[in-house]
Amino acid sequence: MKFTVASRGDTLSDELCDTIKTRLLAADLAHDSETPDIVITVGGDGTFLEAFHSYAHRLEETAFVGIHTGHLGFYADWVPEETEHLITHIIKTPFQIVEYPLLEVVIRYRGGQREPRRHLALNESTIKSTEGSLVCTVEIKGEAFETFRGDGLCMSTPSGSTAYNKALGGAILHPSLASIQLSEMASINNRIYRTLGSPLVLPQHHTCLLKLLNDVSVQVTIDHFNVPVFAENVDTIQVRVAEEKVRFARFRPFPFWKRVKEAFISE
Ligand code: NAD
């Protein structure tokens, strides 16, 4: 089996990565950062998200597992003290795989001036105006639903529902629900402008299309990374549940609701 390790870059994470690499090489596993079967991240959820994007082109062949060297992570859910245990499990492959849904985002430009760009998000994608209000129509399954006016919109995956989506008042969704959630950022609601005003959950195969109506410059993010867009020329953003899934290497149960409780309520 081929593995690679990804560190946040601090001393503790670097040292743990070195230990993991040494132990796995000694057990005759091959280190391969180009085409790994398993990626072990050490750091936090940010490190995990970066690693996910580095291997997003080969999700069917790559499994991920994360150790957190800071506070409990949602993706990085192993503690450094469990490293030996994790190494032993990895050496004893095969391991169980758990799959979570992803968000597909397609950005199209006005007049077809530029090629559409497709992205995958593990947490969410956001669109925000960088000057004044964003005005866009929201179409669901090809039907006009509402016209949004406000700071922006967030489209999240179920596993990303505990991240930025939660800060926007979105619901927490179990990752077994192949769906996406649309939540608003400061929508303008009065007698003239009207949006639903509450988060919306769409099932698989229900495409949501945002069509920009005003001439504002926009910022588009995928998992909080800025996507280099031609900001003034974005025409539409299409989102839906992706065909691809992220694959987690599972070596012990850590139920989603337990993770939610430990992160937000109590240990
Ligand atoms: P970061 O790496 O500093 O992460 C910010 C926090 O979000 C960390 O505590 C991280 O553990 C947590 N986080 C990340 N993914 C999560 C998930 N799926 N469920 C619960 N918590 C999660 O920030 P970054 O690299 O700029 O962005 C990474 C992610 O952090 C973004 O995709 C975004 O969802 C989230 N974030 C949330 C807020 C917020 O809640 N207001 C603000 C910034 C970023």
For 168-184, the pLDDT digits (tens) are 999 999 999 999 999 99
Q: Is the CB of 70 under 6 A from ligand 1?
A: no
Q: What integer pLDDT is reported at residue 36 of this predicted model?
A: 98
Q: What integer pLDDT is reported at residue 94 of this predicted model?
A: 85
Q: What integer pLDDT is reported at residue 156 of this predicted model?
A: 98
How confident is the prediction for the chain on average, in pLDDT?
95
The Cα–Cα gap between 19 and 87 comes to: 10
Q: Is the CB of 77 under 6 A from ligand 1?
A: no
Q: Cα–Cα distances in Å, from 204 out to 51, 103, 208, 239?
A: 25, 10, 11, 11
* Residue 124 structure tokens: 């969410």
Residue 49 pLDDT class (50, 70, 90 cuts) = very high
Q: What integer pLDDT is reported at residue 72 of this predicted model?
A: 82
Whose Cα sits closest to atom 3 in ligand 1? 46
Q: What percent of the chain has pLDDT over 70?
A: 100
Over range 93-97, report the average pLDDT: 88
How much is the CA Rg of the chain, to the nearest whole Å? 20
Q: State the distance from the centre of ligand 1 to the C-alpha of 95, rounded, in angstroms.
A: 28
pLDDT exceeds cutoff 90 at 98:
yes
The Cα–Cα gap between 61 and 138 comes to: 35
**Which contacts qualify for 16-20: CB closer than 8 Å, 24 or more apart?**
16/42, 16/67, 16/69, 16/80, 16/83, 17/42, 19/83, 20/83, 20/87
Q: What integer pLDDT is reported at residue 267 of this predicted model?
A: 80
The Cα–Cα gap between 256 and 122 comes to: 16
**Which ligand 1 atom is at minimum distance from the Cα of 44?**
11
Over range 78-89, report the average pLDDT: 94
DSSP string covering 48-74, please?
HHHHHHHTGGGTTT-EEEEEESSSPPS
**Which ligand 1 atom is at minimum distance from the Cα of 76?**
11
Q: State the distance from the centre of ligand 1 to the C-alpha of 52, rounded, in angstroms.
A: 14
Over range 95-100, report the average pLDDT: 94
Q: Is the CB of 124 under 6 A from ligand 1?
A: yes
The Cα–Cα gap between 177 and 158 comes to: 7
Tell me the three state secondary structure of residue 262.
helix
**Which ligand 1 atom is at minimum distance from the Cα of 167?**
40
Tell me if 104 sits within 8 A of 120, measured CB to CB. Answer: yes
Over range 39-56, report the average pLDDT: 97
Q: Which of 41, 45, 119 to probe ligand 1 with, by most ligand atoms within 8 A of CB?
A: 45
Residue given tokens 């070195």 in the structure block:
18
